[in-house]
Structure 1
Amino acid sequence: MKSTPICVLLSETGEIPLHFRAKLLGIKFILQLCSKNSSTYSDLYNLSIMNLTTSFWKNRKCFPLADYMLEIKDAWPSIITSNVHPNFSTNYWSLFPRFETNLDPPFNHYEEPEIEYQFNAFIHRNFENHRKIYTDGSVINGQAGCAIYDSKVSHEITYKLPDLFSTYTCEKIAVIEAIKYANRVQDQNFVIISDCRSVIQKISNFKFTSANSHILIEAMKQLSIAQELKKTLLYYGSDHTKELEATRSLTV
């Protein structure tokens, strides 16, 4: 059985890489120590300089706190003069505005081939002035990939992904690449259509207080850029439609 790399495990579970987590905790601890005893800053700073310049530390691993001290030395004067203990927090509401999504299209209760007719009629009626991009991601015979399809110019782009990726991860990356594509094109309005309901649902119900995967954060960041440049919508569409079926055939 293939071993799953740590980076993939961290990405899928929404965890911060261990070395970044250690650095964050180390910096927090330094600030806490220095708030109680200002001489701690000088001691750690001098130790970090010794680590870089003296022969004693040449073949020895640097004391972690001294190493982390260098990360905040440029900001230290502002920390001291403000006399305010820094507070580490992330306000996703200020970073990522709400986005328009649709999870319950009115045509899904139809049977084939009526569903394709209803889908096309709905898209034409509601998104006549939008450029339409279809996405799909899949794992077939152990090979992972995703694709996007621009129906306006019949342009398709395929992406080969690591074979350890799940279908869900491939679907998320397909949506990200579609948003990036929309950001590069001059048209003002886009609708990105995916047949993966769970991806659209995850983005529309983004929980700002819970751990999120790096891929999901990237999707939110790209959507934030898209909102500044143009109107971009995310839409869930049935996988029985011709365009989505064509996109699926490109994935691997």
Structure 2
Amino acid sequence: MFYKSIIRSLLDFGLILYGQASRTELKKLVTFSNKCLRRIIGALPSTPITALSAEVCEPPLPVRLSKLAVNKIINLHHSGSFLLAKIAALTEAFLTEKHWLKNNSPPIVSAFLAVTPDIHSVHKSNISPTLKLDYPRATTSLTTIYLRDYSEYPPQIVNELFMADITTAVPGSQLIFTDGSLLEGQVGCAIYDPSAKVEKMFSLPSQASIFTAEMYALVCALEYIATLKGTRFAVVSDSMSSIKQLERFHPNSKCDYLVTRIVNIVCTLRHRHIQTAFCWCRGHCGIKGNDKVDQLAKRATTAGQYQDIKLPKTDAKRTLNKRLVEWRNWYNSGTAGNFYKSLHPELRSIPWFATSKFG
């Protein structure tokens, strides 16, 4: 606790600035950090650094440096900070001026170059999306329903059970099924209206996450509902995380702009006396509508109508996963600690003692 709150926080705070120091100077900090970690877990001085790093789930300092710098660039872009223009100017100077030929690349410049190809697709907002809503909309409660797990029932009766549950939960509602898909680096989503036999497929930027695809499918479903004449609708999704996100919405929510976009559309529909409910139904259980929209979403990754949407900054932070790949490669390529790696071939996300109670 002391290491994370005091020592590591101080190292992280200045890492972007001192990260271009000479390797000799940086090595002193790496050695100091490793000594702290050895003391914390009681490791012997002979314990290989790769094993030490894996045991405490702490990436080596150079990887942390790269990860923090990328994170900083993404946050600056998302908030529209003026500092991003200064970093861009510094990057241009680094690439064109002779002064930098004999100097190490500043970490913030390396990060800027790494994320520049994708960063312009990130949604910009200098305030929380919920603060852009007026009070009635910010305090809106969305209707969410969780249907039973139909995988526990015989396939012959799951569709009858599903319709019976829907009739009870949202009587008289027209069903709209939604789904998102991520296949071979391509992203798409789809909606399906079984009563009107309407199918809509959309392809999304390849940087989008599956969560964003699921959320955008809900947006598309609501926009489709706005064109219909009915007054009661149920949007069915197999994405538990999406429905949970809507259920947890409140004025202080830390949510992305797609959630507030959904809230805005729902409120607009309510003003027109159109009621919408969001239903979770486990996928791949034999529900005809779910299976149909699942197929459409997969096709949408390559054949859907392209939607050049702005992505939440959480999607841009997928770039950070590349830094964790660097850690994994460093862990696997080291010659020391082979016995430890034979016992723990994969890096953990949290240390084994994270949930332990001491004393």
TM-score (normalised: structure 1): 0.62
2:142 — aligned with what? 99
Check 1:215–1:91 CA distance in 2 against 1; reply closer, same or farther (3 A cut): closer
Please, which of 281, 285, 296 is the counterpart of residue 237 of structure 1?
281
In structure 1, the gaps of 5 or more residues are 23-88
Check 1:142–1:220 CA distance in 2 against 1; reply closer, same or farther (3 A cut): same
Question: Aligned-pair distance for 1:93?
Answer: 4.6
Partners in 2 of 1:162 and 1:223 — Cα distance? 25
Question: Aligned-pair distance for 1:209?
Answer: 1.3
1:182 — aligned with what? 225
Partners in 2 of 1:154 and 1:243 — Cα distance? 10
Tell me which amino acid in the other structure corresponds to 1:217.
T
Question: Aligned-pair distance for 1:125?
Answer: 4.0
SS of residue in 1 equivalent to 2:296:
coil
Tell me which amino acid in the other structure corresponds to 1:115.
V
List per-residue Cα deviations over 1:80-131 (Å, max 9, x = no partner): xxxxxxxxx667652242121113x245473341433311222234444211
RMSD: 2.6
Question: Aligned-pair distance for 1:216?
Answer: 1.5
Partners in 1 of 2:253 and 2:282 — Cα distance? 29
SS of residue in 1 equivalent to 2:191:
strand
Partners in 2 of 1:201 and 1:100 — Cα distance? 11
SS of residue in 2 equivalent to 1:136:
strand
The answer to whether the 8 Å contact 2:141/2:249 transfers is no
Check 1:175–1:90 CA distance in 2 against 1; reply closer, same or farther (3 A cut): closer
2:265 — aligned with what? 222
Partners in 2 of 1:120 and 1:16 — Cα distance? 46
Please, which of 127, 151, 154 is the counterpart of residue 194 of structure 2?
151
Check 1:90–1:221 CA distance in 2 against 1; reply closer, same or farther (3 A cut): closer
Please, which moves more after superposition, 150-159 or 118-127?
118-127
Partners in 2 of 1:169 and 1:233 — Cα distance? 19
Matches within 5 A, 1:1-252: 17-19=78-80, 93-96=135-138, 97-103=140-146, 105-108=147-150, 110-113=152-155, 114-229=157-272, 230-239=274-283, 240=285, 241-251=287-297, 252=300
Question: Aligned-pair distance for 1:211?
Answer: 2.9
Partners in 1 of 2:194 and 2:151 — Cα distance? 25
Question: Aligned-pair distance for 1:152?
Answer: 1.0
Check 1:166–1:91 CA distance in 2 against 1; reply closer, same or farther (3 A cut): closer
SS of residue in 1 equivalent to 2:179:
strand
1:82 — aligned with what? none
Bigger fraction of residues in helix = 2
Partners in 2 of 1:112 and 1:225 — Cα distance? 40
SS of residue in 2 equivalent to 1:250:
helix
Partners in 2 of 1:221 and 1:235 — Cα distance? 19
The answer to whether the 8 Å contact 1:136/1:248 transfers is yes
List per-residue Cα deviations over 1:229-250 (Å, max 9, x = no partner): 2111111112121111110111
TM-score (normalised: structure 2): 0.44
In structure 2, the gaps of 5 or more residues are 1-69, 83-130, 301-359
Partners in 1 of 2:137 and 2:171 — Cα distance? 30
Partners in 1 of 2:174 and 2:197 — Cα distance? 11
Partners in 2 of 1:248 and 1:158 — Cα distance? 11
Check 1:225–1:107 CA distance in 2 against 1; reply closer, same or farther (3 A cut): same
List per-residue Cα deviations over 1:136-163 (Å, max 9, x = no partner): 0010111100000011111110111111
List per-residue Cα deviations over 1:180-202 (Å, max 9, x = no partner): 11111111111111110110110
Partners in 1 of 2:164 and 2:132 — Cα distance? 42
Check 1:141–1:193 CA distance in 2 against 1; reply closer, same or farther (3 A cut): same
Tell me which amino acid in the other structure corresponds to 1:236.
W
Tell me which amino acid in the other structure corresponds to 1:249.
Q
1:34 — aligned with what? none
Identity among equivalent positions (%) equals 21
